[in-house]
Structures are given as C-alpha cells and as structure tokens.
Structure 1
Amino acid sequence: MPRGQSILGKLIECEGVLSGGRGGGPVLDCIEADVEAAVLRLAAEDRASAHVFRIEYGAIGNVNDDTQLKRALRIGISLPTYKRRLKQARTVVIESLISKRT
C-alpha cells in the first residue's frame, strides 16, 4: 500500500482486513477455522454429514432454501435423515471445539 493512503483506502484495498504493518498473516486462534477443520475431519469419515452441516450453516446451498425440509429435498434425502446427519455433524464439531479449547 502506498504511504499516506487513507484508512478507508486501505480497508477497501485489503477487503476489510488491516494488518497493522506486521505481515498480515492469518488469525491463528479463529473459531471459524476450528469449525472448518472439524468439518474437514468429519468429511473424511462421513462426507454426507459434513455436506449437510455446510448446507445448514450456509457455506453451500441455495439462499431460497429457508427451511430444513427444503434443504433436505434439494439434496434428495428425507427430513429425518437430514436432521440425523446434522445432529451427527454438530456433535463432532462441538466435541472437537471443546477438546481444542479446554
């Protein structure tokens, strides 16, 4: 970034992330990164549950699918199956976060 650039200019150029001139590395203790790491581990064992988790929390999917029933139907599964897979995924993610942060 050029010297003398305004803070607003820096925000726009860096897409809202200011590093303070210390290298701009990634945030190391970030809950989103921990959740995604847990979902990636889950996907290695249970791809379907990881897929449902990502759909439920908006990482993938259709914005018009505003209910679990719509989301389940879009991926071709029943609502009880959707809910079961989501519960399995939530359990794995929560247990992973608890073990990492305690």
Structure 2
Amino acid sequence: MFRHIVLFRVRDDVTDPDVSAAIDELRAAGNAPEVTAWTVVPSLDTRKGRIIVQDGTFGDRCAFETWRAGETHRQVARRMAGMADWWVGDWSTDVP
C-alpha cells in the first residue's frame, strides 16, 4: 500500500465558502479508480489556522503516480496553490 497525506494550511484571507468548495473538490479527487481509501476533513484543531487534512491510500506507488498525473489532481492542485500552503507525507507501507 502507498499512503499520501497532505495538510493544507488555508491562507487567512480565503473565505469560508471558498474553503467549503475546496473541500468538496478535494473529496471528489478521491473518486478515481486508483484510490483505495480517501478522507478529506477540516482539522478540529484551529490554533494554527484553518487546516484541511487529506488522507489517501493507493494500492502501490504506481497507482499513486497514475492518479497524480491525472487532470483531476492537476486541477485541485492549482486551486489549492491559490489558497493554501501544504505539507506532504508519502510512504509505502511495504517498506519497514
């Protein structure tokens, strides 16, 4: 399995409706056949600002790379680049 976790720190000037629309778009990005599990939620802890948590699982790295190269991912990445900074954690659960 391959895990892909992203923490999006939404910029302070972004409106709540724009955040909601982004969450909807991020959730839709998990509807690809390469995705085996997908969660997108706002963080309950807002001490450091508004954070969107994206947690994805793929069968393997190849499936992830196929998904990442797709148009849906490119579109949502462009949207998020305009409204957030983010940190990514990727790893394979097959590697100790």
TM, length-normalised to structure 2? 0.32
* CA radius of gyration, larger in: 1
| Higher relative contact order (Cα pairs below 8 Å, separated by 6+ residues) | 2
Q: Which has the higher helix share?
A: 1
Q: Which has the higher strand share?
A: 2
TM, length-normalised to structure 1? 0.31
